[in-house]
Chains A and B, each alone.
Chain A
Amino acid sequence: MIGISRRGLLKSGAAAGVLAATGLPVFAQAKRGGRLRVALSGANTSDSWDGRTHSDIFMQAAAQGAVFDSLTEVAADGSLVGELATDWEASPDAKVWTFNLRQGVTFHNGKSFGADDVIESLQLHVAEGSKSAAQPLVGAITEMKKVTEHQVQFTLENGNADFPYLMSDYHLLIYPAGQIEEAIATGIGTGLYSVESFEPGVRFVGKRVDSHYKDGNFGWFDELEFIAVNDATARMNALMTGQVDTINRIDFKTEALLKANPMLRIQELTGNQHFTFPMLTDVAPFDNVNVRKALKYGVNRQEMVDKILQGHGRIGNDTPIGPANQYFAGDMEQLSYDPDKAKFHLKEAGLDSLDIDLSASSAAFAGAIDAAQLYQASAKTCGININVVQEPADGYWSNVWLKKPFSAAYWSGRATEDWMFSNAFEAGVPWNDSQWGAEDSERFQSLLIEARAELDSAKRREMYTEMQMILRDEGGVIIPMFANWVQALNNKVATPEVVGNLWQMDNARMAERWWMA
Chain B
Amino acid sequence: MTANHNSKTSGKVSFWNDPSKRSILYQVTTLLLIGLLGYYLFSNITHNLARQSIATGFGFLQKEASFEIGEKLIPYSAADKYARALWVGVLNTLLVSFIGTILTVILGTFVGVSRLSKNWLVSRIAAIYIEVLQDIPVLLQLFFWYAFFYEILPSPRQALQPIDGVFLCNRGLAFMVPVFQPAHVYMAISFGIGCLIVFVLRLWSRKRQEKTGKYFPLFRSSLGILIGLPMVTWWLSGAPTRMDIPVLTGFNFKGGVNVSPEFTALLLGLVLYTSAFVAEVVRAGIQSVSHGQTEAAMALGLKPGHLLKLVILPQALRVIVPPLTSQMLNLTKNSSLAVAIGYPDFVSVAGTTINQTGQAIEGVAMIMIVYLFFSLITSAFMNWYNKRIALVER
A binds B: no
